[in-house]
Structure 1
């Protein structure tokens, strides 16, 4: 059972300490409700670009080499991520280095220099990242399915943004975005793992006080009704990358519904015993990779199916994937596959939570995206408690006719 304490600092930033037994590591993570869905149209790509820029240095560690070398001297793993919902920065170190790690992270993230010269250099780096993704058909398929499902809505745009935006961003615009979105009230700081070397005398609060006090930002644009568009990027390849997206009628604000949705997606295509894997791969031999995954956004539940397969087999696989969703909608799952998927989902969560970074990322989503309890044990208990009837209800909530479709390969839209 973890020991969890929480407080709100004078700058509005919630600070959570999650003490986990049996680990020598500690993860420090700070995150904000400042992901890609909070960008204005002309800002698309700015949240991710800002994530890159803060690593160039703060006040004390005022150069990227000082940031990187300090992390290495601690034996730390330092990284960040930007999603549609969040931007987050995290470092995992041995417990004895906790305070030094907090000092480093709060310096360059809480008071970044955002040097104009570094900004110009980093543009090229991020543009190369965008170009790399364009060379990866599977990544292009991910971008296409978001656009097919949500069109011009922020959720339909890429997190990386278009190249022309990266070339146009000014330092002033980036600072303005940070001041508009990185408010403590819509963020959180998390210290997770072995916190024996983290004092309770106010030193930690002082370091996290480096983040400025900012007004609460406006709410993001709500998730729209799912479009049913079909988008194909034709490429003369032997393998195709297929994606389908549904928006189930699920109350994402209910933790029990989210847990049931997770188990549904697992029995559909989240394990080697799932329906998609067993039939599409094992029985029919149509592909090497086929899967289903659920995404819990702040205000919507999303179900995505995907496959990477020989192009000539794409029509058959596509038809059968849609039929399997329809069969679950019509007939429901079996009690045996629900029981197996529930055990698998809970077991995977237990194994994931052996990693302090995974617990910290989970806590950030719980606190900032959903405004809920961050206890990892409750996440496991929620999966264990899901009933057959709850999963059957989820299956009925997935409209088999309401799907967006995307594919990269030698196909035409009419094939879908």
Structure 2
């Protein structure tokens, strides 16, 4: 697939991916920062900042102005915060590219961060936190990562804690933004229907005021000297038990990550996988059972998730353990390996159908 990459004077990388036979485009601004770049005191600031960018700019001072401008043309927009990156995107009809670019550059370069909006959004995030606590299928992943990494940034929740969220000040937020939201730490991607030369020119003009410099790096992952508990149980009245089983794996620059991904696919990455067939199809013990790998800069993990009847929890854990043992002793078959590779070839082809 054709693409063009340029680097602006401030260090920001811009990538354009023209696509034929589509009438829309997606614009995504990514920054290489997230909750792993926080301290205990500022835990949650990456996510808080992501929310605040939408709460008014110099040219769109009211919090609803940004959503209104995009809703008026039927565009979709959102943002997300992860442990090592944060993104802001707009998907719109291709002829609205100037508006999409203007919105994304406006929120990132001219935010107001009014005190009253900060306090209102703090309340919104507390409710988001409660929503996650009421969603055990999601919350179990946070618990699992805290078991793997302990009391360090990779083990902390992206949203922060009640204490850290309450303690975040406007000064904390501005300091973090100044440290991390700079050109060399940013990538802008435009994919879809547009004139490439015109798009690159507009991007360069829009983001010329993004500061240059070097962003603060995150501390490298270090094994805890303390022995971490291998199990954590948390009780909440639900209709299912949600469980995860797994171990630390490989980082995003480790070539072994490819083998780990294929193993996860064979074990639980598709409906014909071993665990899906054994736990759901043969025994009816779960609606959802899956295996994934996660990669961070210098570490990662391999995990299996399942939502099961309370009284069948031990049986499901035992069957997952047994499948792990089988893989460790006999591996997967050549046929399973080929099927996993073909699965990802197909998934990759499908992913290229959308911007």
Give the secondary structure class of the aligned counterpart of 2:209. Answer: coil
1:317 aligns with 2:316: yes
Distance 1:41 1:201, change over 3 A: closer
1:253 aligns with 2:276: no
Distance 1:166 1:89, change over 3 A: same
Q: Is contact 1:198-1:204 (8 Å) kept? A: no
Gaps of 5+ in 2: none
Give the secondary structure class of the aligned counterpart of 2:99. Answer: helix
Matches within 5 A, 1:92-107: 92-107=91-106
Distance 2:20 2:116 in 1: 45
Task: Report what 1:209 is aligned to.
Answer: 208
Distance 1:55 1:237, change over 3 A: closer
Give the secondary structure class of the aligned counterpart of 2:116. Answer: helix
Q: More deviation in 52-61 or 203-212?
A: 203-212
Output the TM-score relative to the length of structure 2.
0.94
Matches within 5 A, 1:266-285: 266-285=265-284
Q: Is contact 2:266-2:337 (8 Å) kept? A: yes
Q: CA deviation at 1:60?
A: 2.0
Give the secondary structure class of the aligned counterpart of 2:290. Answer: strand
Matches within 5 A, 1:333-412: 333-356=332-355
Task: Report what 1:222 is aligned to.
Answer: 220
Distance 1:203 1:141, change over 3 A: closer
Q: Over residues 290-315 of structure 1, what are the superposed CA-to-partner deviations in whole Å (9 max), with x where a residue is unaligned?
A: 11011121222311111000011110
Supply the RMSD in Å over aligned alpha carbons: 1.8
Task: Report what 2:38 is aligned to.
Answer: 39
Give the secondary structure class of the aligned counterpart of 2:198. Answer: coil
Q: Over residues 161-210 of structure 1, what are the superposed CA-to-partner deviations in whole Å (9 max), with x where a residue is unaligned?
A: 11222222111110001111112212211111112276157332110223
Distance 2:170 2:140 in 1: 32
Matches within 5 A, 1:7-156: 7-156=6-155
- How many residues align structurally? 352
Distance 1:211 1:63, change over 3 A: farther
Q: Is contact 1:31-1:189 (8 Å) kept? A: yes
Detail structure 1 runs of 4+ shifted over 6 Å in the superposition. none
Gaps of 5+ in 1: 357-416
Distance 1:283 1:306 in 2: 18
Distance 1:187 1:20 in 2: 23
Give the secondary structure class of the aligned counterpart of 2:190. Answer: strand
Q: CA deviation at 1:237?
A: 4.0
